[in-house]
Amino acid sequence: MKKQGFAGRTSMIRESDKISKRILEIINTSQDPLETKEIELILKNITRIKVLYRLKNLRGDGLIKGKPVGSGKGAWIWWRIDAFK
């Protein structure tokens, strides 16, 4: 398991978890907050459930920030840790 994450934060991302690494890369290179659907469109052939699961885990690990919007059916916005500093 990887011990050092973005901006010196600890992370529990496994070395083999390519989906989480790709999501983290997408969010950290984006200039604007992204909706879950936008991330899904970038990550073709990966189910919405897997994407949302990984996003919530990354948020729980403190590597990204996110906020639910809408009716609670997986509509979230996501942004990098240092986006609004």
Q: Within the chain, where are the H helices?
A: 18-29, 36-42, 48-60
| Cα dihedral: 33, 34, 35, 39 (round 10) | -160
Tokens found for residue 37: 């659907």
In the chain, what are the domain boundaries? 6-80
pLDDT at res. 71: 76
pLDDT at res. 3: 46
How much is the pTM?
0.79
Is the pLDDT reported for residue 61 higher than 90? yes
| Cα dihedral: 57, 58, 62, 68 (round 10) | -80
What amino acid is encoded at 21 in this protein? K
Task: Tell me which architecture the domain covering 6-80 has in CATH.
Answer: Orthogonal Bundle (1.10)
pLDDT at res. 28: 95
